[in-house]
């Protein structure tokens, strides 16, 4: 820790400097084409079909595809994992995004799942999702065509960051940080050039079609595409089932790429509503921001509601955080008395069974450790 006492000024003629250098991350994709899907359903639970080896970031990888789930609790699901397929001298950090593709090769928004930036250190080490696709959903959907499905795995290898010494003098030009968000925020505040009107819960909001379309493919379809005629009455679009303050916060994010300032308790409630809005308008960054905020605001009174929300909107990180909160603390009895838990049991009975299973596994593990 630097000494806090005052010292005489020192004149430095060395012009030395240090720089933090970030090496660009490696990235790539692999398409897994499962042909003859019906023939894979006979593969036992816990057994995988491995993709061919592919290279990203100088390392060899495979996708492990489990037609009947990777573990006993997930026999009704297709599980997918990205695995390292070689021995490495140093651990590798990678993030995987699994995308179920539609017949046109586009990702299905409800089945885009991204892992954390995880460490891969040994051959066969893998990270992914036990509950990537429920087979019943897939077999009734339009995504299973010609007895085949396609899953794309996008991989990002972590950046390497290090410090270098550099000889440098004072800069000739100082470039300020970007203030683009301020200019866009001013457009929203002043409504200059606004060309579309929304009516939400009795309040009216003016905005700009092109900006909304650039930020959300749903807005793009509604405002510039084929849906335009069906969503507008004159120049006004009516939005039902949303609070005015939620839509106002949504617009703030569209223009500023950040949430408006709020009190802590208000932030937690707003995050629940905004997560639903972000899912509705296909805004993944906003959805993740809300998911992160809800993870940080888990309480007895709200955890069951957040868990139901996570299940309904495919938020794996929030789901895991809620599950961990419930099975690792002594608050489950208190949570079960809340209205949120009653709603959870009615709306997501399979999720309650999963919770009970996880709790039983945790209790069994504790007893085994004590024995």
**Band of the pLDDT at 145, cuts 50, 70, 90?**
confident
DSSP helix, strand, coil percent of the chain (3-state; round to 5): 40, 25, 35
Q: What pLDDT, on the 0 to 100 scale, is given for residue 207? A: 96
Q: What pLDDT, on the 0 to 100 scale, is given for residue 144? A: 92
Which one is predicted more confidently, 175 or 252? Answer: 252
Stretch among 67-71, 282-286, 325-329, 336-340 having the lowest mean pLDDT:
325-329
Stretch among 150-159, 218-227, 232-241 having the lowest mean pLDDT:
232-241
| Secondary structure of residue 207 in the 3-state scheme | strand
The span from the CA of 18 to the CA of 163, in Å, is 7
State the number of CA atoms in the 13 A half-sphere of 326 facing the CB: 27
The span from the CA of 93 to the CA of 215, in Å, is 30
Q: What pLDDT, on the 0 to 100 scale, is given for residue 2? A: 35
Q: Say if pTM beats, i.e. exceeds, 0.75.
A: no
pLDDT digits (tens, 9 = 90+) for 359-368: 887 777 767 7
Pairing of strands 148-157, 160-167: unpaired
pLDDT at 139 over 80: yes
pLDDT at 219 over 50: yes
User: For residue 21, how far is the Cα from the chain centroid?
Assistant: 27
Q: What pLDDT, on the 0 to 100 scale, is given for residue 243? A: 95
* Residue of 304, 310, 311 lying closest to 343 (CA atoms): 304
Q: What pLDDT, on the 0 to 100 scale, is given for residue 357? A: 85
Which one is predicted more confidently, 50 or 27? Answer: 50
* Residue of 99, 92, 157 lying closest to 128 (CA atoms): 99
pLDDT at 299 over 50: yes
Stretch among 143-152, 180-189, 321-330, 346-355 having the lowest mean pLDDT:
321-330
pLDDT at 232 over 70: no
The answer to whether 36 and 149 are in contact (CB under 8 A) is: no
What does the mean pLDDT of the chain come to? 84
Stretch among 31-45, 162-176, 260-274, 335-349 having the lowest mean pLDDT:
162-176
DSSP state of 144: -
189 backbone dihedrals φ, ψ, rounded to 5° = -70, -40
**Band of the pLDDT at 168, cuts 50, 70, 90?**
low
């Amino acid at each position: 820790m630097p000494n806090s006492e005052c010292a005489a000024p020192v004149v430095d003629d060395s012009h030395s400097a240090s720089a933090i250098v970030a090496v660009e991350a490696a990235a790539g994709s692999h398409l897994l084409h499962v042909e003859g899907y019906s023939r894979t359903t006979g593969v036992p639970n816990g057994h995988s079909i491995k993709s061919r080896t592919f290279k990203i970031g100088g390392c060899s990888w495979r996708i492990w595809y489990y037609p009947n789930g990777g573990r006993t609790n997930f026999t009704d699901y297709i599980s997918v994992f990205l695995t390292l397929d070689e021995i490495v001298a140093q651990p590798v950090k990678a993030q995987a995004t699994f995308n179920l593709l539609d017949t046109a090769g586009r990702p299905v928004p409800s089945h885009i799942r991204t892992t954390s930036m995880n460490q891969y250190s040994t051959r066969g080490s893998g990270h992914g999702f036990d509950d990537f696709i429920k087979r019943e959903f897939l077999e009734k959907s339009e995504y299973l065509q010609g007895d085949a499905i396609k899953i794309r795995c996008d991989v990002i290898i972590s950046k390497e960051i290090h410090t270098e010494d550099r000889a440098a003098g004072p800069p000739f030009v100082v470039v300020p940080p970007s203030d683009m968000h301020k200019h866009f925020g001013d457009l929203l505040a002043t409504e200059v050039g606004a060309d579309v009107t929304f009516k939400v819960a009795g309040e009216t909001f003016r905005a700009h079609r092109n900006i909304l379309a650039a930020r959300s493919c749903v807005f793009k379809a509604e405002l510039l595409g084929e849906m335009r005629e069906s969503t507008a009455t004159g120049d006004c679009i009516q939005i039902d089932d949303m609070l005015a303050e939620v839509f106002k916060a949504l617009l703030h994010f569209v223009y500023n790429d950040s949430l408006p300032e709020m009190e802590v308790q208000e932030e937690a409630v707003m995050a629940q509503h905004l997560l639903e809005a972000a899912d509705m308008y296909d805004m993944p960054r906003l959805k993740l921001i809300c998911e992160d905020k809800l993870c940080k605001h888990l309480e007895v009174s709200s955890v069951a509601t957040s868990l139901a929300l996570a299940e309904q909107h495919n938020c794996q990180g929030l789901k895991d955080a809620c599950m961990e909160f419930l099975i690792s603390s002594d608050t489950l009895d208190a949570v079960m008395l809340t209205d949120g838990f009653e709603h959870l049991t009615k709306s997501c009975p399979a999720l309650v069974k999963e919770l009970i299973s996880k709790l039983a596994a945790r209790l069994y593990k504790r007893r085994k450790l004590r024995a």
